[in-house]
Structure 1
Amino acid sequence: MSEQVQDRSAGQGPATKAERRLAAQLAAKKAAEARRRRQSMLGAFVGVLAVAALIGGIVWLNKGDDTTSTASSPASPTAADEPQLDPALKTKPEVSAGEGELKELTVTTLIKGTGPEVKAGQAITTNYVGVLFKDGKQFDSSWDRGEPATFPIGVGQVIQGWDQGLVGVPVGSRVQLDIPANLAYGDTGDVSGPLRFVVDVLGAQ
Structure 2
Amino acid sequence: MTRRRTALLALPAAALLVAGCGSSTPSPTVGGTASGGAVATTTCQGPAAATEQAPPSITDDLSAEPEVPAAQTPPPCTLVVADVVVGDGPVAESGSQVEVKYVGAFYDTGEVFDASWQRGADETLPFTVGGGQVIEGFDQGVAGMAVGGRRAITIPSDLGYGDRGQGPIPGGATLVFVVDLVSVS
TM-score by length of 2: 0.61
1:72-116 per-position Cα deviation (integer Å, ceiling 9, x unaligned): xxxxxxxxxxxxxxx821110111122213200000000011112
Amino acid at match of 2:105: V
Gaps of 5+ in 1: 1-86
Displaced runs of 4 or more, over 4 A = none
Q: Does 1:198 align with 2:174?
A: no
1:91 alignment counterpart? 64
Which of 106, 109, 112 matches 1:135?
Answer: 109
> 1:103, 1:132 → 2: CA distance?
15
1:135-173 per-position Cα deviation (integer Å, ceiling 9, x unaligned): 111100000011111111111111110111111111110
Aligned residues: 119
Deviates more, 1:181-190 or 1:120-129: 181-190
Are the equivalent residues in 2 in contact too, given 1:172–1:200 (CA < 8 A)? Answer: yes
Tell me: higher relative CO, structure 1 or 2? Use CA pairs within 8 A at least 6 residues apart. 2
> 1:126, 1:116 → 2: CA distance?
13
Which of 77, 86, 110 matches 2:84?
Answer: 110
> 2:174, 2:106 → 1: CA distance?
7
What is the aligned-residue RMSD (CA, Å)? 1.4
1:158-194 per-position Cα deviation (integer Å, ceiling 9, x unaligned): 1110111111111110000000000001133331311
Q: Does 1:171 align with 2:147?
A: yes
Identity %: 40
Q: Higher strand proportion, which one?
A: 2
Q: Higher helix proportion, which one?
A: 1
Q: How does 1:126-165 map to 2 (within 5 A)?
A: 126-146=100-120, 147-165=123-141
Gaps of 5+ in 2: 1-59
